[in-house]
Amino acid sequence: MTPLRPTRRAPRLPAPRGAAAGTFVTLLLVAALIGLGAWLVLRKAPPSSGGAGTPWGGAPAGQAAPTGAGSAAPAGPGAVAAPEGKVPVPVEPVTGAPQLAAAAPYVPKDGVVEVDISEYAGYGGLIVANGGLDPSPDSFFARNYGFKVKLSVSEDESWSAVNNGRFAASSTTTDVLAVLGRQFDVVVPAQIGWSRGADMVVVDAGLPTVNALAGKVLAASQFNESEFFIRYLAREAGLPVKVLRDLDGRPASNELGLVFYEDAFKACDAYQFELAAGRGRLNGCVGWSPRTDEVIEAAHGKAKALVTNRNLLVVADVLVVNQGFARANPKLVKGLVHGLLEGNRRLREDPRANLPVVARAFKWKEADAAAELAKVHLANLPESRAFFGGTLDAAGSFGGIFQSAVLAYGDLIKNPADPERTLDLSHLEALAKAGLFADQTIAIAPIKTAAGGTLEGDPLLSRDIRFFFEPNSAKLDDKQKENLGYLDAVKQFLQVSPGSVVVLRGHVDNARVPDFRKQGGEELVRSMALKAMELSRQRAVSVREALVKRHPALDAKRLETVGRGWEEPAGPDSSQNRRVEVQWFTLE
C-alpha cells in the first residue's frame, strides 16, 4: 500500500533565542572554526571549482548532502542562508491514486465520537464547540445531542483511518476527494471553510507570472492541497505538468516540472538549499506558511511569493464522515454538522473570546492563533449550502473544485468518480428549515493589501482563447457551441478570486500584411493596422458583453478590454493569432 502524506502541516514557530552574550560567544566560535576549516581545505584543494559526484561539486542527485554541501553560498550581506539539517532527498513519485485501507464502519464507544484533525486553525470551530480536545459533558455536542467528542490532533495521514473505522470523522480538502475516488467510503455533510493565504507558490525573483514557469522546476509534495494549487494554476495557464524523479531531470520548454519531497516543508527546505548553493536546479517551491515565508526571508531578495490563495479560493476543507457510521447514526452526524457551524459562528463573531481555547488545544500563543485564523475563512450555513449548490460568485464551489482537480491531475485519475457520490446535505437543509443561523449571510470579500492588485504590473497568468467570430466581424458566432464553454472559463477566473480583474486583449492575424505592403506600401499597412486594432478591440468588447449577458451577476467593472491588432502574434500560424488573450490580475 502506498504511504500517504498529511494534508496539513503544523506551523513552525520561531525557536527561543538565548542570551545576547551567549549568542555572541557562540557566533565567534563558529566563525573561527569555519575560517580554520576553509583555510585547510583551500590549502589542499586543486585549482578546480567542481567536485566529485556532480558538476556542482555537491552530493550526487538522489543522495542526502550535509548542510552547506555543494557550491558555497555567496559571502557577505545578502547571502542566502541554508536551512538546518541535511539536504532533503526527492521521493519516488506515486504514479496512480494512493490506496486506502479497506472500508469498515466506525462504532462509537461509551458515547464518545472520535474525530481526527490536524494542527490547523481552520478546524477551530470544532474545538470551540467541544470546549477543547477532550470529551466534555459541557460541550455543545453533549448538551444538545447527548454525545461527547474526542478530537485527536495528528499530522499523519487520516484517510485510511476514517475509511476503515478507526475514526468517525476527519477533514480533507475537496481536491483530495477527486484523487481518492470510489475507494474513499465516506459521507461529506458540510464544508469547514476555505484556506485564505496559508498556501503559497515561492519562485525565483525574476519569474513574473505562472506562464514564466515554462521550462522551470518546482519542489512540491504529492497528494495535498499545495500540489493541487500549482497544478490548478499551471492548467489555467496552459502549462503541462511533468513529474520528475530527481533534480537531474528537466521538463520541456513548454512544461512545468515538479519534483516531490516527503512533505511541503522539506520541499521548501530543498529549494532554500539550492538558493544557498547557487545551483539553480530548482526555481521555486510550493507549500504553506510559515515555512514559505521563512524561505523568502532567508533568500534576501532572490525569491518571492508568486501567488498565495489569500484571494484565490480553490482550497476548501470539508468534513468527511465514515459512511458506515453515518448510515447507522444520522442524529450524531447532524450533531457534528450543527456543532461545527456553531463553533465557526462563535469564532467569526467573537474571536477574542474564543481564540484562547484554540490556542490551548494547539499549544500556540494567542497571537499566533490569531495570525493563523486570519488565513482561514470559516464557512457559515448559507456559505456551506451555496458551496455545495454551486451558487457562489466569490469562491470556488464543491463541484467546480472537484472537476478542476480531475482536469489538473490528468492521467493520475484514471476513472473519475461522480463528485456528488459522497454528498449528504440533508443535515444542512434541516438546520436551514428549522430557522437556525437565519441571520447569517454569504460574506466572502477580497482581502486587500497595499502591495497588489494593479493592472500596471504583471498578471498572475495569461491564457489564449480562440473564440469563434463571424467572418470579418466582431460578432461572436452563435452557432459555435465552444464559445459558451470559453465564456464559462473566463467567468471561473472571477468566481474563484474575489476582487480579481480580467483584461480581455483582442488580437487578429497578420497574414495579409505582405499583401497590403504590395498594394499600397507602408501607408496602407499603417492604415490597415489601425483598422485591425479597432476590430480586435471590438471583438474583446463582444466577449465582455456576451459574458455579462450569460452571467448577469458578474460585475462588468471587473472586465476590461484592449485591442492589440496584429502587433503581438502568438506564432507563425495565422489561426493562432485570431484570439482573445485573457489576463488574470488577482489581489495579493
According to CATH, the superfamily of the domain at 461-585 is OmpA-like domain (3.30.1330.60)
308-324 tens-digit pLDDT: 999 999 999 999 999 99
Alpha carbons 313 and 168: distance in angstroms, whole number: 28
Alpha carbons 169 and 165: distance in angstroms, whole number: 9
The pLDDT of residue 194 is: 96
Low-confidence ranges of the chain (pLDDT < 50): 1-34, 36, 38-75, 450, 452-453
% helix / strand / coil in the chain, to the nearest 5?
40, 15, 45
Domain at 199-308: CATH code: 3.40.190.10
515 is written with which cell numbers? 499583401
518 is written with which cell numbers? 504590395
**Beta carbons of 398 and 388 less than 8 angstroms apart:** yes
Q: Contacts by 243-249 with C-beta closer than 8 Å and gap 24+?
A: 243/93, 244/90, 244/217, 245/90, 245/92, 245/93, 246/61, 246/62, 246/90, 247/61, 247/90, 247/217, 247/281, 247/282, 248/61
DSSP element (H, E) containing 194:
strand 186-195
Pinpoint the residues of the chain covered by CATH 3.40.190.10. Answer: 112-189+318-433, 199-308
The pLDDT of residue 522 is: 87
The pLDDT of residue 346 is: 98
Alpha carbons 460 and 475: distance in angstroms, whole number: 29
Selection from 242, 199, 188, 192 nearest residue 218 by Cα: 242
Query: Could you count the other beta carbons within 10 Å of the beta carbon of residue 513?
Result: 16
286-301 tens-digit pLDDT: 998 889 999 999 999 9
**Beta carbons of 579 and 570 less than 8 angstroms apart:** yes
The pLDDT of residue 16 is: 31
Supply φ then ψ for residue 111, to 5 degrees: 70, 20
The pLDDT of residue 1 is: 32
Spell out the residues 6+ positions from residue 287 whose beta carbon is closer than 8 angstroms to its own.
Answer: 199, 200, 202, 220, 221, 226, 264, 265, 267, 268
pTM (2 d.p.): 0.81
Residue in the structure block whose three cell numbers are 525569491: 303
Selection from 140, 138, 154, 141 nearest residue 113 by Cα: 141
Selection from 503, 507, 504 nearest residue 585 by Cα: 503
The pLDDT of residue 76 is: 55
Q: Which fold has domain 112-189+318-433?
A: D-Maltodextrin-Binding Protein; domain 2 (3.40.190)
Pinpoint the residues of the chain covered by CATH 3.30.1330.60. Answer: 461-585
The pLDDT of residue 454 is: 54
The pLDDT of residue 431 is: 98
